[in-house]
Amino acid sequence: MSDTHSNGDSKSSVKLPNIKFTKLFINGEFVDSISGKTFETIDPRTEEVIANIAEGDKDDIDLAVKAARAAFDHGPWPRMSGSERGRIMMKFVNLVEENIEELALLDAIDAGKVLTYGKARDIPFGASVLRYYAGATDKIHGKTLKMSNQLQGYTLHEPIGVVGHIIPWNFPTGMFFFKVSPAMAAGCTMVVKPAEQSPLSALYCANLAKLAGVPDGVINVVTGFGPTAGAAISSHMDIDYVSFTGSSDVGRLVMQAAATSNLKSVSLELGGKSPLIVFDDVDVDSVVNLALLGGFANKGEFCVCSSRIFVQEGIYDEFVTKFVKNAKDITVGDPFDPSTRQGPQVDRAQYEKVLSYIEHGKRQGATLVTGGKPSGDKGYYIEPTIFTNVTDDMLIATDEIFGPVISLFKFKTIEEAIERANSTRYGLAAGIATNNLNIANTVSRSLRAGIVWINCYLAFDADSPYGGYKLSGFGREFGMEGLYKYLQVKSVVTPVHNSPWL
């Protein structure tokens, strides 16, 4: 542990955020929950209470859905021109960018996210997604149909209606905009349930939306727990669509509830066990840095983390030596400290889950080469952890751990790498490191994953669709594909009499 730095107290002069919003946001107003209940949101750095948050449940979801339904059926938002919606969304973007510091502070204290990364990457990327879809609002087009009889036809793309968004805790602000932005652009209204572990930034964003001029009822935020508020969204008879990001197990529950209620459509962005395949024609030093980024980004709380790294045998030993050395240099500590590269896990449950998987790895015979222990005396900090001698059937190789734990594997041939990389029930992302174009083409087309990065990792962009295969779900975030899922296609057909042409 001597090379892994842990900071119990922040060395920075950053002033902790003032928590301004703790109530539900329904129909343009902050209100208490109907029950009057609250729950504590915990600072993962210190294990202390940050604030008491209104605890919404089924009754509050009903109230929020009524507001969203009224805003959709009778309000101005879906009836505006696309350019009008876009102008309001651009005002929203500007406010987000003016409040980057505050949003990054909220995510740091609420979810343990490193402040410097939040200000430089997370919040700006969320704003860029909102800007992308603001620009897409007037680019939603139907088609003119060439009918076979004396008919003329065209298609309309209409907003699907009231949307329920259930968002996770690992990127609180980012996920808010990944979900809300395309639904807004389509003309939908919505109810957002942020994760109970990290509700603060969603409430702050709701206030920014109101300041931007988003009409009341278009965005409603109900904080609460999955089995109550989340389940009420999934099973609600007056919600037309549910977008969920989270675990595959909960995704099943969302889909079941959607099917047994009003058969609403769903999109599910679920778990991952993503492979990074390193071929022996690469520069090892540069790929080690790439692997560190892919494997330990956001303290491993990232569904696309390259938690399985396959290295070709010719460079395996060199790669392991350099990878382990660099992992030991990762500074673990207070996310407000500018020197920190890895903050605490989001809460005690996740902290204990990660540690339990580390114990599974040791019991099942994998070799722990670095890390594997808590870091520091308080807070939910875990050392960056690397295992070698891992077999493909060990739990650390099959299960999504969602923490700073990486398994290294050795392979010989391209065919072996493809087969083993695909030997998972997940299919969210994958990475390839090679200087051989033929290898890159063959492997990228062979991997069963929704996004494949070649000689890069975590290369997200608002224009690049992203989603899963297999138990990683279905539906896409980003790009125009991320917008189309919030639209219904309607065909309109009329007769054409005595036309000189059809």
**84 a catalytic residue:** no
Number of other CB atoms surrounding residue 13 within 10 Å: 7
What separation in angstroms does the CA of 347 have from each of 176, 246, 352, 417?
20, 16, 9, 35
Q: Residues 196, 269, 383, 400: which is the catalytic one?
A: 269
The rounded radius of gyration (Å) of the Cα atoms in the chain is: 24
What separation in angstroms does the CA of 342 have from each of 115, 304, 421, 474?
10, 17, 27, 30
d(CA 235, CA 243): 13
d(CA 26, CA 221): 6
Token pair for 23: 């109530």
Map 74-85 to HEC letters.
Answer: CCCHHHCCHHHH
C-alpha triplet 91, 94, 96: angle, nearest 5°: 110
Tell me if residue 95 falls in helix, strand or coil.
helix
Q: Which of 230, 224, 237, 321 is nearest to 66 (CA)?
A: 237
State whether the Cα torsion 382-384-388-391 is positive or negative: positive
Q: Which of 453, 332, 314 is nearest to 385 (CA)?
A: 332
Residue pointed to by tokens 């690397």: 386
What separation in angstroms does the CA of 502 have from each of 210, 323, 415, 498?
48, 66, 53, 10
Phi and psi for 432 in degrees, rounded to 5? -130, 130
d(CA 346, CA 343): 9
The answer for residues whose C-beta is within 8 angstroms of residue 369's C-beta and 6 or more apart is 320, 324, 386, 387, 388
Token pair for 245: 């990001």
Helix, strand, coil fractions of the chain, as percent rounded to 5: 40, 20, 40
State whether the Cα torsion 66-67-68-74 is positive or negative: positive
Which residues are known catalytic residues? 269
